[in-house]
Chains A and B, each alone.
Chain A
Amino acid sequence: AQSVTQLGSHVSVSEGALVLLRCNYSSSVPPYLFWYVQYPNQGLQLLLKYTTGATLVKGINGFEAEFKKSETSFHLTKPSAHMSDAAEYFCAVSDLSGNQFYFGTGTSLTVIP
């Protein structure tokens, strides 16, 4: 079975600072990888995804993530944090059918003015 580990359940950054949210996965085959964002009392929204091809993927709201197979990682970054980025972020991996998703436990991002 696949699994996803998100290091740090809570991350705080200052407005304008770099955002780095860590995600590592375990999979016997190269999986599909995703980052989702959840704002309070809402469902999840897809930020970005890696399926095949370029390992650096860009998503919405200025976020990007890099797939590093050798490190089994898919860390999420944003050069400059904005107050509106405060939310819960989930890393996820799916099997190749796309039907079974495995989510990490989430990282709550706080942006300090």
Chain B
Amino acid sequence: NAGVTQTPKFQVLKTGQSMTLQCAQDMNHNSMYWYRQDPGMGLRLIYYSASEGTTDKGEVPNGYNVSRLNKREFSLRLESAAPSQTSVYFCASSAIGRVYEQYFGPGTRLTVT
């Protein structure tokens, strides 16, 4: 039981490049989330998916897109990376009926130059 896994762990992009951050969970959770963590700002919700086939914007969705590929996988895409998107990205998941207990992945550290 790996919990929540994220790939890659580290990534460096040039401004304007695109990439997809992958997230998978093996806990049969319905809800999945993407956050970014910046120094002095805590975690901010980018997008979430309450169930397979649905996605909703969080606090800071601009510049990102998401795909809930199936129940296990929730990807985050940066179409045209900007230096302001340099951050640590965390994926999380939670079970239906227990949405307040979120389980976090180890994070992806992204630098955009």
A49 interface residue (CB < 8 Å to B): yes
Which of A32, A90, A97, A101 has the most chain B CB atoms closer than 10 A to its own CB? Answer: A101
In the assembled complex, the CB of A81 is this many whole angstroms from the nearest CB of chain B, namely 23
User: Which chain B residues lie closer than 8 Å to A18 at the CB level?
Assistant: none
Indicate which residue in A43, A46, A99, A106 contacts B31 across the interface (CB closer than 8 Å). Answer: A99
0/1 string, A12-32, CB within 8 A of B gives 1: 000000000000000000001
User: Which chain B residues lie closer than 8 Å to A63 at the CB level?
Assistant: none
For the complex of A and B, the 10 pairs showing the least CB-CB separation, nearest first, are: A98-B99, A43-B104, A103-B42, A103-B43, A105-B42, A44-B104, A98-B100, A32-B100, A43-B106, A43-B105
A110 interface residue (CB < 8 Å to B): no
CB pair B100–A103 under 8 Å, yes or no, is no
CB pair A99–B104 under 8 Å, yes or no, is no
User: How far, in whole Å, are A94 and B99 apart by their CA atoms in the complex?
Assistant: 10
CB pair B107–A97 under 8 Å, yes or no, is no
A80 interface residue (CB < 8 Å to B): no
Range for the number of chain A residues in contact with chain B: 20 to 34
Residues in chain A within 8 A of chain B (CB atoms) = 4, 9, 32, 34, 41-46, 49, 51, 90, 92, 94, 97-106
B101 interface residue (CB < 8 Å to A): yes
User: Which chain A residues lie closer than 8 Å to B44 at the CB level?
Assistant: 103
Residues in chain B within 8 A of chain A (CB atoms) = 4, 31, 33, 35, 40-45, 48, 50, 56, 58-59, 90, 92, 94, 99-107
CB pair A105–B40 under 8 Å, yes or no, is yes
User: How far, in whole Å, are A44 and B58 apart by their CA atoms in the complex?
Assistant: 18
Which of A34, A44, A45 has the most chain B CB atoms closer than 10 A to its own CB? Answer: A44
Since A34-B100, A43-B105, A101-B102 are in contact, a sample of 16 more A-B pairs with Cβ atoms closer than 8 Å, ordered by chain A residue number, is A32-B100, A42-B106, A43-B4, A43-B106, A44-B92, A46-B101, A46-B102, A46-B103, A94-B100, A97-B99, A98-B99, A99-B50, A101-B45, A102-B45, A103-B43, A103-B44
CB pair A106–B94 under 8 Å, yes or no, is no
